[in-house]
Amino acid sequence: MSYFEQIDPLKVPSHVAVIMDGNGRWAKSHGKERIFGHFNGVESVRATLKAAVKSGVKYLTLYAFSTENWNRPKEEVEALMNLLVHTITGEIDELDKNEVRLHAIGDIDSLPESCKTELHAAMERTSGNNKVNLILALSYSSRWEINQAVKRILAEGLKPEEISDHLISSYLCTAAFPDPELLIRTSGEKRISNFLLWQIAYSELYFTETHWPDFNEEEFYKAICDYQTRERRFGKTSEQIHTGMGINEKTT
Ligand code: IPE
Ligand code: IPE
Ligand code: MG
């Protein structure tokens, strides 16, 4: 049975976040320049989006460029920005046709003008779509996001007693989205790399050795199946989960 057939439609995560990693190593293993890996990663984005829609995922967040990635060689940064513009321009008709709504999180103002223009146009054009939300994390890092949230909270003069989990969430770039139930990282690295630190407090983590350009639909379904085997306890006991008991109810 394929992984897709094994998916329980009643237990599909609503939000899946992905750290798309391993493009450079994949390219190197094929005797090519790093950028060749980035180009080939676009097909994996298409496949992942398709798989997300087919399995019923409503929010797909892709970590495409981190705050720290600005420190890469200038040529690689430029190539990545050009790839972003060309990919959006090339894919926008298809995205719109498939009712995908595009969003961006991160320090979007720091992107080159051409990226900002394409991105804003694509977000505007797809703003009425609601089949699936594709959220691109660009010039994003969680510490940057938390910094800007704290600054805004202070600037607006909020009082200590007004601070809550809910309020903090509402000042993050992801305010409009639920927290991801599942976080996938490709390429065998087992770290978070400054991604959604607040939002993944209770996410299930899935690591695969597959480099991003080799990631495909079936790999996505495999991750969903693995997620569906997890028992999400949120601090409670296994018995409470199985009997549906609430907080502080006696177990005897
Ligand atoms: C992920 O692949 C893409 C970005 C971070 C932009 P990498 O470029 O990090 O590839 P590796 O990890 O060096 O192999
Ligand atoms: C994380 O990958 C960022 C993105 C996938 C965009 P990196 O390759 O930059 O992460 P580190 O530096 O190896 O942790
Ligand atoms: Mg990497």
10-53 pLDDT tens trace? 999 999 999 999 999 999 999 999 999 999 999 999 999 999 99
Is the pLDDT at 244 greater than 90? The verdict is no
Mean of per-residue pLDDT scores for the chain: 97
* Active-site residue flag, 248: no
Q: How far is the CA of 25 from the centre of ligand 3 (A)?
A: 8
CATH of the domain at 34: 3.40.1180.10
pLDDT at position 246 is: 65
- The answer as to whether 5 is a domain residue is no
Residue among 69, 82, 194, 216 flagged as catalytic: 69
- Tell me what pLDDT residue 70 has: 98
CB 37 within 8 A of CB 25: yes
Q: What distance in angstroms lies between residue 48's CA and the mean position of ligand 3's atoms?
A: 18
Residue 217 lies in a domain: yes
> pLDDT digits over 143-159, tens only?
999 999 999 999 999 99
pLDDT at 154: 98
Could you tell me if residue 249 is inside a domain?
Answer: no
Give residue 24 CA to ligand 3 midpoint distance, Å.
Answer: 7
Residue 75 token pair: 């040529």
Residue 69 CA to residue 144 CA, distance in Å, equals 13
Tell whether 59 is covered by a domain. Answer: yes
- C-alpha angle with apex 229: 225 to 232, nearest 5 degrees? 120
Atom 3 (ligand 1): residue with closest C-alpha?
21
Distance CA 222, CA 186 (A): 13
pLDDT classification of 235: cutoffs 50, 70, 90: very high
Note whether residue 120 is domain-resident.
yes
Indicate whether 248 belongs to any domain.
no
Q: Is 20 touching ligand 1 by the criterion CB < 6 Å?
A: yes
Per-residue pLDDT of 83-141, as tens digits, reads 999 999 999 999 999 999 999 999 999 999 999 999 999 999 999 999 999 999 999 99
pLDDT band at residue 247, thresholds of 50, 70 and 90? low
- Over residues 156-187, the pLDDT tens digits come to 999 999 999 999 999 999 999 999 999 999 99
Closest ligand 2 atom number to CA of residue 140? 6
- Total domain count, the chain: 1
- Residue 252's pLDDT is 46
Contact (CB, 8 A) for 65 and 45: no
If one residue of 77, 193, 200, 211 were mutated to test the ligand 2 pocket, choosing by the most ligand atoms within 8 A of its CB, it would be 193
Atom of ligand 1 nearest to the CA of 28: 14
105: containing domain: 14-242
> 162 C-alpha vs ligand 1 centroid, how far in Å?
40
96 classed as catalytic: no
The answer to the question of residue 174 being in a domain is yes
Task: At 106, list the tokens.
Answer: 């991160």
The total number of residues shown for the chain amounts to 252
User: Is 151 a member of any domain?
Assistant: yes
